[in-house]
Amino acid sequence: MSEKLANEAVVDRAVASIRGLRVDGGEVFLRDGQSTSIEVRDGEVENVITRGERGIGLRVLRAGHVGFAYSSDLSPDGIEECVTSARDIAAVTEPDPDVSIATRTIESPDLNLYEQGIDGRSVTERTSVALAVERAARNVDARISGFRKTTYSDGTITTIVATTADVRGTYRETYFSIGTSAVATADEDRQIGYHGEAKRQFAAIDPEAVGRRSAELAVGKLGAQTFKTQSLPIVLDPYMGMALLGALVPLFSADSVIKGKSLFAGKLGEQVASDRVTIIDDARMPGALRTAPFDGEGVATTTRTLVDTGILRGYLSSLKTSKKMVQAPTGNARRGSYATPSRIGAANFHLAPGAPTPDALINGLDRALRISSLLNLHTIDPISGEFSLGATGDYLEKGERRYPVRGITIAGNLTTLLASITGVANDLVFGASGLGSPTFVISELSIGGA
């Protein structure tokens, strides 16, 4: 039987093995995660799923070449084999003068990422949360006829990063999430509304709020009408704001900027949005979903104001891109798994809130369209900023909802859209995606309809 090593011992052995090679350096990334999911539907438990993921991903640097390998075999022999594979791969990759490993010592402050006691929570207690979501949804409206699926999940993750330059960091985290897709039915009209949330602490998740919003979204789509082609102010609530912000994240990637694949390339210090827009990436926000003391390369994370009252102030970078741009790394090399190399990503990326309430913002509009869903956000052109997105929403007059609309498209350009944000409310919300947004208003967009 293979010897089973503890996480710290695995990392120690991998680092020592890399140091024993004739290479310039290396990096070890270990991820150890355990999760439980409960799936229910219409009050009945359908699945109880437990999963585990434990493995290492290695980078070995050799004369400007980099080799990446990973393994879930964490026995001494498995570790040695993984290190050897990374070395051999480095021998056949193209040289990259900008590749490097972390060399600065990192600290692991308490960022409120871990909650004790998750292992002692019973399946019954976990299931009760999912059932509470469905009860709350049914209580909203008699037209809630069922659910596609309701899921409760929780998990623990341990992350260790170490380099041959004596950089080492460890942190543990927990997460708890719930989500449901409620179905609303009226005659032949059948609509679905999905909502979910995730938190670091069990007590912070709100099954009643999740069920209620899911039901309201589904019921709100019933009886939707076609809409004439026109231009109107657009209202995005926090969740639709997050959807749009998610499409903006790649534009701030230093890798995209270097490759000329971002409309923000070469625009540092320039006005790229209205003065109502301040965008922040904050990997040090205590207790938030994307918070971490260091990134997937072992670089200390940061809090960055990327857009300050409309002015572009910075990009998100990795070790490689920061070297290319001759700038300090921002700690945004994210790792989804030990089995994949890092890539630039955001951490608690959000639009800073304004002063007015959402009602005060919306009531000042004579006519407007409040968006309730956006489709094909991945089709936005990152270079030109051009977009044409399928959407549904609610037609508003003087802040009051008149009727839901369907079958529309909203089209325009991101540069114009960002410059046209005329109001930002004070209701900042962070979603399960780790993105955050308050309600905001775009002065006008073209709406394609019937």
pLDDT tens-digit map of 92-135: 999 999 999 999 999 888 999 999 999 889 999 999 999 999 99
Structural domain spans, the chain? 118-156+174-220, 224-450
User: What does the alpha-carbon distance between residue 370 and residue 175 come to, in Å, rounded to a whole number?
Assistant: 31
Q: What pLDDT sits at residue 418? A: 98
Ranges of residues in the chain whose predicted pLDDT is under 50: 1
Q: What pLDDT sits at residue 1? A: 43
Domain 118-156+174-220 sits in which CATH superfamily? Answer: PmbA/TldD superfamily (3.30.2290.10)
Q: What pLDDT sits at residue 2? A: 57
Handedness of CA 109, 253, 288, 32 (dihedral sign): negative
Q: What pLDDT sits at residue 22? A: 87
Q: What pLDDT sits at residue 174? A: 98
Q: What pLDDT sits at residue 160? A: 98
Q: Which positions ≥6 away from 352 have C-beta within 8 Å?
A: 278, 279, 280, 424, 428
pLDDT tens-digit map of 377-408: 999 999 999 999 999 999 999 999 999 999 99
pLDDT tens-digit map of 410-430: 999 999 999 999 999 999 999
User: What does the alpha-carbon distance between residue 442 and residue 370 come to, in Å, rounded to a whole number?
Assistant: 10
Q: What pLDDT sits at residue 108? A: 80
Closest CA to 96 of 24, 160, 152, 166: 24
Give the E-state strand segments of 14-130 in sequence order.
25-41, 44-62, 65-71
